[in-house]
Amino acid sequence: MRLITHTDFDGVVCAVLISSCEEVDDIIFLDPATIQKRKMKITDNDILSDLPYHPKCGLWFDHHLSSKLKEGEKFEGEWAPKKSAARVVYDYYENSYLEKYKEMVEWADKIDSGEITKEEALLPAGWRLLSETLESDAEKKVDDAYRRKVIEWLKVGEGVEGILGKEEVKKRAEAALLDLQDYFGKVKEFGRMEGSVAYLDIRGMEKFPHGNNYLIYLAFPNAKVSMKVYDDRTDKEIVNVSVGQNAFNRISKVNIGALMKEYGGGGHPVVGGTHLKRIDADGKIKEILGRLKE
Ligand SMILES: [Mn+2]
């Protein structure tokens, strides 16, 4: 079968687990919007993981609240509101062969649900650092070939430190760490507080470095939530919005995934996002910002 998984660390871990239990002959990496917009032909030969449901797929694993199906709707696979899609897959197969991936799945839980420390946000190491190499800048093309290599290394039992010691990974890790420092500085420079919201609008700023979603809370520790607005890399008519609760101080009561769903997107209660049409993005951004202010 063909496995279609998310472009992030959780998606990669799903691929390790699923391809250990199913006959997978091809792995491709997609973002949720491509599935949502039905931009790709999906058949019952496809397995989807950490991505929204597609009615034509053969097997589906996800944990995003926004992709939960209506009661009684039948599908093969599993949806559960767990910390990572990897956890959903791991529990679904209940396969003792997968036990060697226990630690990796625990890290998928931590990373995907934002349970990381401030130190890990700015100076990641181990699994967190490996995850940064997999998720770094789309512009630099974290190519699918690299993700497939990491999946293979993990499957043949190379430990995370062994993988991080490989020349190619080392280079990517060093670049990711530099990007994080650079991003942190630029977030402080271009971000601002809008009420209780740390707001960062980088539309039109092509050279903005890549960073993770936590650094904005280090830059603006009093923020209850953050909102980032940025250009879509592939579709000029689209503006992306990412919203999250302060990962180090969860006091916001806004259900972000539900709010994003109202604007055509989705996510979890604590983090989510949507894609807006550029022509009416400004009005919608103002609206969302207004609803995020508490
Ligand atoms: Mn996930």
Q: Is residue 194 domain-resident?
A: yes
The stretch 68-83 carries a mean pLDDT of 94
Q: Does residue 137 surpass a pLDDT of 60?
A: no
Same domain, residue pair 104 and 192: no
Q: What is the whole-number distance in angstroms between the Cα of residue 274 and the centre of ligand 1?
A: 16
Cα–ligand 1 centroid distance for 184 (angstroms):
24
pLDDT band at 246 (very low <50, low <70, confident <90, very high): very high
Last residue of a domain, one of 74, 92, 113: 113
Average pLDDT over residues 256-260: 95
- Would residue 146 count as lying in a domain? no
pLDDT at 142: 62
| pLDDT band of 136, cuts 50, 70, 90 | low
84 inside domain:
yes
Residue 26 within any structural domain of the chain: yes
Distance from residue 179's CA to the centre of ligand 1 (Å):
23
Per-residue confidence (pLDDT) for residue 212, from 0 to 100: 83
Residue finishing a domain among 63, 95, 113: 113
pLDDT at 141: 58
Please indicate, yes or no, whether residues 93 and 189 belong to a single structural domain of this protein: no
Residue 217 in domain = yes
Task: Kindly give the distance from the C-alpha atom of residue 74 to the centroid of ligand 1, in angstroms, as a whole number.
Answer: 22
Is residue 287 domain-shared with residue 198, that is, in the same domain?
yes
Confidence grade of residue 32 (pLDDT, cut at 50, 70, 90): confident
The pLDDT assigned to 135 comes to 80
**Ligand 1: distance of its center to the CA of 12 in Å?**
10
CA of 279 relative to ligand 1 center, distance in Å? 30
- Decide: helix, strand or coil at residue 292: helix
Domain boundary among 113, 130, 158: 113
Mean pLDDT calculated for residue range 111-130 = 91
Spatial CA neighbour of 277 closest among 243, 237, 230: 237
Q: What is the rounded end-to-end Cα distance, in angstroms, of the chain?
A: 47
Mean local confidence (pLDDT), 197-214: 91
Answer yes or no: do 106 and 6 share one domain: yes
Q: Packing angle between helix 102-112 and helix 9-21, nearest 10 degrees?
A: 150
Ligand 1 centre and the CA of 215: distance in Å? 19
For residue 170, what pLDDT band results from cuts at 50, 70 and 90?
very high
* Listed ranges 34-38, 82-86, 134-138, 204-208; the one with the highest mean pLDDT: 82-86
Taking residues 91-114, what's their average pLDDT?
Answer: 95
pLDDT at position 276 is 97
Query: b/e map of 269-286 (b: 16 or more CB within 10 Å)?
Result: bbbbbbbbeeeebeebbe
Domain that holds residue 70: 2-113
Distance 241 CA to ligand 1 centre (A): 18
Q: How far is the CA of 50 from the centre of ligand 1 (A)?
A: 5
CA of 9 to the centre of ligand 1 (A): 8
Q: Is residue 225 situated within a structural domain? A: yes
Q: What's the 112 CA to ligand 1 centre distance in angstroms?
A: 6
Of the pLDDT bands very low, low, confident and very high (cuts 50, 70, 90), residue 65 is confident
pLDDT at 294 over 80: no
Query: Number of folded domains in the chain?
Result: 2
Same domain as 95, residue 188: no
How many angstroms separate the alpha carbon of residue 14 from the centre of ligand 1?
9
What is the pairing mode between strands 59-62 and 46-49?
parallel
Name the token pair of 268: 């979890």
Produce one character per residue of 66-94: b if its CB has 16 or more CB atoms within 10 Å, e if not. bbeeeeeeeeebbbeebbbbbbbbbebbe
> How confident is the model at residue 183, as a pLDDT?
95
Q: In the predicted model, what is the mean pLDDT of the chain?
A: 93
Residue 101 lies in a domain: yes
What CATH code is carried by the domain that includes residue 280? 3.10.310.30
108 and 188: one domain? no
144 part of a folded domain: no
> Are both 194 and 276 inside the same structural domain?
yes
**Predicted pLDDT at 188:** 97
CA of 111 to the centre of ligand 1 (A): 9
